[in-house]
Structure 1
Amino acid sequence: MDTNQDESFEDCFDLFSAKLNEEKTFGAPMLWIGIYVAAVSLVCSLAMAADAYQGFRQRKLWFPSKFFGLNAASLTLLAVAMKLPVDLSSPMGGSADQLAKLSSTAFMCTIIGNLMPSIGPMDNRDILLNVIAVSILVITILVNVCIQLKTGEINTYKTYIAKEHVVVMFFMLLLLVILSFSALAVPISKRILEVKYRDMHKTVSTEEPKESNKSSVDFLKDVVRKYWLMAETGSPQFVMACSATSTTSGVICLMVAISLVEAEVRIWLYIQRPPYFLVAPYFQAPDSTSDYGWSTVFIVWIQSIGVIVGTIAPAFRWFTAVSFKCSKKESNNYRNELKVEGYWIQPLAEWKEIPLLPLRIRNRKCRKLIQNAKNLILNFCTRVQVLIVVASKTVCLISVFVARPILSGLDYCKRLQEKVTRNSTKGSDTEPGVELDLNRYVLRLEGEVDLPERILKNISVAVDRSIQKAKRQQPEKLMELLEKSSGFKGIVEFDSNQVPSLHSEEPPNTWNLPVVTLTSIAISFPNIKSHIADSLLCSVNEGLSYASLIDQTLENIEDWINLKDAANFVWVRVELYRKWLDEDLQRIALKGKTWRENLQRLADIAKDCVMEFLSDVNRGPEHEPLNWPVKVIAANSMYRISQTLLLQHQDNHQSNEELFEQLSVMIADILCACLTNLPGVISRKCFCNAIDKREESVRLAARLLGETEAILNTLQQRELPPLDPNQVAYIDEWRTSIKLTNPSASRASKLEA
């Protein structure tokens, strides 16, 4: 009997051991899953830290979402980072396990607060899809955490942090509601800002310099400042970040961070030792009893840091909004302060007016029931929206009451310090751009306060800093080349009417192609020192980068695509391989004895290329010069310019170096004429139709102004031919005008021919 009992006991023990080994085998990958969750949480934390750093660096205390926005990638990362709170199958009774679930939910709250500005630039479809995706994820987390609270998985005897879970879950749900209802106002606010931006653009484009002696460069700087301010204050991210709901999310994120810290401190006091997630010897402490092992310690550590770092941006948005309100004159009319502007509820009102036409239901009662249900839902949503906005403004108003005395005291001390500094440094220059009334160009929604003077100064300083930074990248080689130009004679001289055409119609000239062709000819001359040829190539390369911008502003640019592509096609080969089409220019320079011989060879090659194409093409669209292949367009340019040079210098006995210098001057003349269009290009770059690209476009305009400021100051002293504003961008219009106003230049060209 005892023997049978012993055998039965041994069988049970073996079965239990086998079961335990099996569970260990199946639970082994969980450690690596935990490490993966920690790594993903680290990526999210670094992205939020990068946004915070970028905001401080650019002095944008509304912290736009540049590195961490609401999109498919971030949603995928969030789904991985939220693995622990949605895990119902793995027992997690240890202190580290319990705290890991809380840190994950707190981490999710912080991320929602950081993602709010990123919905501003989205279109309606993306907003809908992304908000639905976030809602599904948040609701899944809430349901799973509620199940764990009900079953006692979270409410263990070791750590009683159920209260913190309830608080954080409430805040998470509140943040989701705020995010969803804030998204409703985005389309209308963007529409309002778009109208204001275009109206302000009309105003700015018709403004003239107030000071008659103001240079065009200084006037352009003012234009850039105005559009920079319009782009920043009209940015959907800026409007979203400075909204009342976004400031409330900052308060909520701060309270979530406090709740997490409180729970961690309480657990630390309970176990009576330093925080195990910060001390290496406790990485394998028994506080982690789940299959995730010590990876939960890393998760708590990384996500806790992520919560602290991620709270910076929402908290500073709240503080910035409060400081804006404090800078406003104190008002006792609190009803206006709590007023709900129309753009918050206008989308719901518009949806309510839209009938349900697509529903083909014949039964009148069913249609009426559905219509009433729709109106009931929209009325409920409208009330919720009003409640959220009023509550958010109330939070902001309370914050202002608390912060106003403190900020007023700090502002008084600052003004006192500035007064002392001003008295000790009399005669110092004022800050650039402060004299310009920038407040006129701030785009505001209804109910928004004026930007404080310090914010306007910061924006003005940011513009000047961007221009000064670009000044350090001025095209020095190009400036050396332009110094050789003393007029615009080269624009007429590079192409002579005495050269017989190869086709009944000639393609129009662009700025780039003659410059590229003349450069190709110049470096093909024999006995030209390599460093001189390389210097010309560098100068032309810098000039073409600006000439390309000017060619892009042409009204008929779509019809001139092949002309633009021809210059790019040739230049890549000339700059990188010293080849014109398939001809090695260095080999031509070595084999040829004189520039005339090399020039004739290039002209013959170009003529053969054009004639071969024209002989094979029937009358049709391809026969039109604008539709020629890029090689044929480049060859036609080479033929005409080469023949022009041969005609002009047929009786001259110039050396290779002398003609090389003449071609350099001709190139400089063309580039000088081309670059007189830069002020117009900079002004056009300031304005941008796409709302999500306006800041980038105006930054490009500021960089372009800084790089070319010295060139613009030099060209401002030149006397330009009488051209209409719509003719200045075309080189052929320049040629015609110069020939009419200066017949001697045209006559000299013919005599040389």
Structure 2
Amino acid sequence: MGKIGCNNDGNLDNTKFSQPMPWIGIYVAAASLACLIGMAADAIHGIRNRKFWFPCKFSSLNATSLTLLAVAIKLSVDLNTSMPGRHDQLAKLSSTVFMCTVMGNSMPSLATMENKDMFMNIIALGILVITVIVNICIQLSTGVIYIFWEEHASILFIMLVLLLILSFSALTVPTTKQYLEHKYNKKYELALKEGSNDNLRGDIMKYWMMAHTCSPQFVMARSVTCTASGAFCLLSAATLAEAMLRSYFMPWSCKFCRGESDYKWSTTLVLVTQTVAVGVGTIAPACRWFVAINYSCPKRRNQSCRYRKFKVERYWVQSLVEMKECPLILGRIRSRHYRKLVHDGKKRFLNLCIRVQMGIVKMSKLICLISIFSVSQILLCCNYCKELKKRFEFNKSVSNTDQSAFESQPFPKLDLSRFVLHLEGEDELVGLMMKCSCDPTDHWIREGDKRRPKYLIELLEMSTQGFKGVGEFDSNQVPSLDSEEPPNCWVLPVVTLTSIAVALPNISPGLIKSLICSVNEGLMYARLIDNLEAKGDLTNIRSAADVVWLGVELYHKWLDVDLRKLSLQEKTMKETLQKLADAAKSRLVEFHKEQNNPQCLMRRASKWPIKVLAANSMYRITQTLLLKSESRDYQMSEKLYETVVVMISDILGACLTNIHRHVSMKCLSSAIEEREECVRNAVSILGKTEKIMELLENKALPSLDHRQCPMTCIDEWRSLYMQKKKPLPFISSPSESEIDSSKSGELFLTID
């Protein structure tokens, strides 16, 4: 028997080397299909959201996409496998065009990266491009690629230009982000000064316009370099289409060799997959190019286009100029002569980069100018047809509408042109962005309103005037088991009170189910408000609330206490509360014994273990309810259940008065790359909670102005009630006299 790889004569046996090649072709097609799916998802996402600049959400440049791209272009870099047939040679060309398409399609994703990640991705892409160019040049010289010379040469040139455009466009990203972030903060302060609680929708429209127009991907997508990259992608796709049409419909112009490739039928699969990928992937770059040309060529009275000047704005070269002016630290080079050579070399290199950058920008503007010449007449005809259609529809509506209809028209929309953030040289785009960027806030608010929390609204309708339950769920008369009490958060008292309500005997399961649904909806917003609190460390306390709620919602358990079993033991209301209090106290006592350890003595109350914090909350609340029940007739569980539910409603009501502040803060606190999505989420929350805000507006303390004195912390609300000399009565269903007294000003408090 011969050795592996050798026959019986000892010679090399290469008959099996080519057998796995069709499977490699399938692997290449699968990688191309993955890239195709990402680009198709971005195209669908852009069309559905009417973002015709097509942000990169699924097909950005990263380690995964670059790895898939390296696999997908395997055929174009294969140096020694003969590929004689038509499909083989076209597959070589389609792989190269596919790479150009991916580069142009994913260009806006550079704006979302950190500087280090962007630098590493550009370097990796550059290595891949140089490898492809060198390998194709070798194949052209060796005859592996023996046809479509002109097409390959054109694609290699386009690929190199695209790499330069991507690399030098990436240099502007840090500068534009810094400038737009500063401008956003200024406009945000202006929006806050002009804003009011009565016009929160107007405020959110301003925030959205600022976040949308300063979105790094949108800034990159509307730049002249991205427009030029779209033109080059369109040209590369046209080159592939020309080669395919010529090979199939003009066979006399293409003479292919006879024979079969080692890849066999898999080259056809690769060709089909990559051709579809090129077609789908060209949608986004082509649309960016067309929209930019349409922006630059609106209808004029003289039926001509205003052409851009070939001025290179400062932000294109600012980072290079700063690097040029920044001195190098060359402590290891002692010789003054060599240090001078290094600095001179750095300056000359950066001067060359500045000239290349200026050349790329001017070339991009020239491409835009040529594009305008090419399509200006078509665009002007389209604009003329649109104007005729508008006039016809307007005249028709005038003939069928009387003057009273005009008087009943809605007020004009808010002018948001002051809140359009733009770079130097984009002044002419402000009006066009206002015209073409439809305001989706009304749509998002309507969609949010459709998903309003109906159970939570029913619960909040039970809240008292002034949310007195915030000051009553934890009494100061309860003796503390420790010298330091942990701070409160909004969520933990709610889940503790809900646990008590579930454990009370003789309560209908339907009421318990409804309460859990209401609290579950309320906790989603209460957690958002808790995250606004910057004072103290509430991480463990929030975690304790989440752990308790998981057990209550899914298993009807508070830690290791079975609440449903406790409610079915036919105990009295006081016995149930006492059992919960004893279970909590045992955990606290055990923990306090462990605090004799010096390491435990140094631990702050907010750093207590999660279960100890939950036990402390349960102990204090159950003791408060036991103390209050002694002074009133709460022998009936139903009465205590109503009281606990009102407490829960009051706490959630007081918490949700800060929703408008969460909406405003969400529009500022997020990173610039995520701000547009954060504003969208904030608008959705606004739509879901508008009904709640209207409901709570009449129940909050009239003396509180949450814009002037925001009270995001529950302890601030509790201190507000503790300032009163006379303790508030224990909560029951609010009577008319209580409502009248709250309206008369007895609960009015002034906070300095």
TM-score, length of structure 1 as denominator length: 0.88
Deviation at 1:612, TM superposition (A): 2.5
After the TM superposition, which of the residue ranges 314-323 and 348-357 deviates more from structure 2? Answer: 348-357
Matches within 5 A, 1:635-674: 635-650=615-630, 651-674=632-655
Deviation at 1:365, TM superposition (A): 4.1
1:6 corresponds in structure 2 to none
After the TM superposition, which of the residue ranges 649-658 and 87-96 deviates more from structure 2? Answer: 649-658
After the TM superposition, which of the residue ranges 372-381 and 313-322 deviates more from structure 2? Answer: 372-381
Aligned with 2:292 (options 301, 321, 328):
321
Partner deviation per Cα, 1:302-333 (whole Å, 9 max, x = no partner): 11111111111001001111122224879999
Deviation at 1:575, TM superposition (A): 1.1
2:576 corresponds in structure 1 to 598
Is the 1:722–1:737 Cα contact (8 Å) retained in structure 2?
A: no
d(CA) in 1 for partners of 2:284 and 2:55? 9
Is the 1:592–1:598 Cα contact (8 Å) retained in structure 2?
A: no
Aligned with 2:159 (options 167, 172, 191):
172
d(CA) in 1 for partners of 2:312 and 2:484? 65
Aligned with 2:671 (options 690, 702, 711):
690
Aligned with 1:341 (options 313, 332, 337):
313
1:520 corresponds in structure 2 to 499
Question: Is 1:194 the equivalent of 2:193?
Answer: no
Distance 1:142 1:461, change over 3 A: same
2:225 corresponds in structure 1 to 245
Distance 1:585 1:254, change over 3 A: same
Deviation at 1:471, TM superposition (A): 1.4
1:355 corresponds in structure 2 to 327
Distance 1:646 1:373, change over 3 A: closer
Distance 1:524 1:296, change over 3 A: same
Is the 2:210–2:419 Cα contact (8 Å) retained in structure 1?
A: yes
Counterpart residue type for residue 494 of structure 1: F
d(CA) in 1 for partners of 2:408 and 2:82? 67
Deviation at 1:729, TM superposition (A): 1.5
Is the 1:288–1:294 Cα contact (8 Å) retained in structure 2?
A: no
Matches within 5 A, 1:291-440: 291-327=262-298, 337-358=309-330, 360-422=332-394, 423-424=396-397, 426=401, 427=405, 435-440=413-418
d(CA) in 2 for partners of 1:613 and 1:402? 79
Partner deviation per Cα, 1:95-127 (whole Å, 9 max, x = no partner): 111111111111111111012111112122222
Deviation at 1:657, TM superposition (A): 2.0
Partner deviation per Cα, 1:327-372 (whole Å, 9 max, x = no partner): 4879999896210011111222222223333373344444443333
After the TM superposition, which of the residue ranges 54-63 and 341-350 deviates more from structure 2? Answer: 341-350
d(CA) in 2 for partners of 1:162 and 1:64? 34
Distance 1:728 1:371, change over 3 A: closer
2:203 corresponds in structure 1 to 223
Alpha-carbon RMSD across the aligned residues, in angstroms, is 3.0
Deviation at 1:464, TM superposition (A): 1.7
Aligned with 2:27 (options 21, 24, 36):
36
Counterpart residue type for residue 23 of structure 2: W
Counterpart residue type for residue 439 of structure 1: S
Distance 1:509 1:151, change over 3 A: closer
Counterpart residue type for residue 35 of structure 2: C
Is the 1:48–1:68 Cα contact (8 Å) retained in structure 2?
A: yes
1:82 corresponds in structure 2 to 73
Counterpart residue type for residue 328 of structure 2: L
Deviation at 1:153, TM superposition (A): 2.2
Distance 1:653 1:354, change over 3 A: closer
Is the 1:181–1:385 Cα contact (8 Å) retained in structure 2?
A: yes
Deviation at 1:718, TM superposition (A): 2.6
Partner deviation per Cα, 1:127-161 (whole Å, 9 max, x = no partner): 22111111111111111111111222222xxxx31
d(CA) in 1 for partners of 2:349 and 2:719? 69
Partner deviation per Cα, 1:678-715 (whole Å, 9 max, x = no partner): 11111111113412221221122111111111101111
d(CA) in 2 for partners of 1:429 and 1:472? 31
What secondary structure is seen at the aligned counterpart in 1 of 2:439?
Answer: helix
Partner deviation per Cα, 1:400-444 (whole Å, 9 max, x = no partner): 344444334433433443344455275489999961111211111
What secondary structure is seen at the aligned counterpart in 2 of 1:193?
Answer: helix
Counterpart residue type for residue 348 of structure 2: L
Is the 2:505–2:568 Cα contact (8 Å) retained in structure 1?
A: yes
2:703 corresponds in structure 1 to 722
Is the 2:297–2:305 Cα contact (8 Å) retained in structure 1?
A: no
Is the 1:49–1:309 Cα contact (8 Å) retained in structure 2?
A: yes
After the TM superposition, which of the residue ranges 73-82 and 393-402 deviates more from structure 2? Answer: 393-402
Counterpart residue type for residue 349 of structure 1: V
Partner deviation per Cα, 1:603-643 (whole Å, 9 max, x = no partner): 12222222222233137645643232222222222222212
Partner deviation per Cα, 1:182-235 (whole Å, 9 max, x = no partner): 1121121222112111221222222234xxxxx63xx22222222222222112
Gapped runs of 5+ residues in structure 2?
1-5, 733-752
d(CA) in 1 for partners of 2:246 and 2:636? 90
Question: Is 1:136 the equivalent of 2:127?
Answer: yes
d(CA) in 2 for partners of 1:314 and 1:345? 24
Question: Is 1:107 the equivalent of 2:102?
Answer: no
1:447 corresponds in structure 2 to 425
Counterpart residue type for residue 250 of structure 1: G
Is the 1:467–1:706 Cα contact (8 Å) retained in structure 2?
A: yes
2:145 corresponds in structure 1 to 154
Is the 1:131–1:180 Cα contact (8 Å) retained in structure 2?
A: yes
1:578 corresponds in structure 2 to 556
Counterpart residue type for residue 629 of structure 1: P
Aligned length: 713
Is the 2:670–2:678 Cα contact (8 Å) retained in structure 1?
A: no
Is the 1:45–1:306 Cα contact (8 Å) retained in structure 2?
A: yes
d(CA) in 1 for partners of 2:411 and 2:376? 29
Aligned with 2:541 (options 552, 563, 568):
563
1:3 corresponds in structure 2 to none
What secondary structure is seen at the aligned counterpart in 2 of 1:26?
Answer: coil
After the TM superposition, which of the residue ranges 173-182 and 620-629 deviates more from structure 2? Answer: 620-629
Is the 2:308–2:369 Cα contact (8 Å) retained in structure 1?
A: no
Aligned with 1:733 (options 716, 721, 734):
716
After the TM superposition, which of the residue ranges 93-102 and 19-28 deviates more from structure 2? Answer: 19-28
Distance 1:140 1:437, change over 3 A: same
d(CA) in 2 for partners of 1:421 and 1:330? 22
Counterpart residue type for residue 560 of structure 1: L
After the TM superposition, which of the residue ranges 437-446 and 460-469 deviates more from structure 2? Answer: 460-469
Counterpart residue type for residue 34 of structure 1: G
Matches within 5 A, 1:694-713: 694-713=675-694
d(CA) in 1 for partners of 2:164 and 2:301? 31
2:742 corresponds in structure 1 to none
Deviation at 1:384, TM superposition (A): 1.5
Deviation at 1:291, TM superposition (A): 0.3
Is the 2:299–2:305 Cα contact (8 Å) retained in structure 1?
A: no
What secondary structure is seen at the aligned counterpart in 2 of 1:206?
Answer: helix
Counterpart residue type for residue 636 of structure 2: S
d(CA) in 2 for partners of 1:250 and 1:747? 69
What secondary structure is seen at the aligned counterpart in 2 of 1:77?
Answer: helix
Partner deviation per Cα, 1:554-604 (whole Å, 9 max, x = no partner): 1214x2222222222211111111111211111111113321211111112
d(CA) in 1 for partners of 2:409 and 2:281? 34
Distance 1:727 1:317, change over 3 A: closer
Counterpart residue type for residue 459 of structure 2: L
Question: Is 1:207 the equivalent of 2:194?
Answer: yes
d(CA) in 2 for partners of 1:724 and 1:717? 13
What secondary structure is seen at the aligned counterpart in 2 of 1:496?
Answer: coil
Is the 1:55–1:62 Cα contact (8 Å) retained in structure 2?
A: yes
TM-score, length of structure 2 as denominator length: 0.89
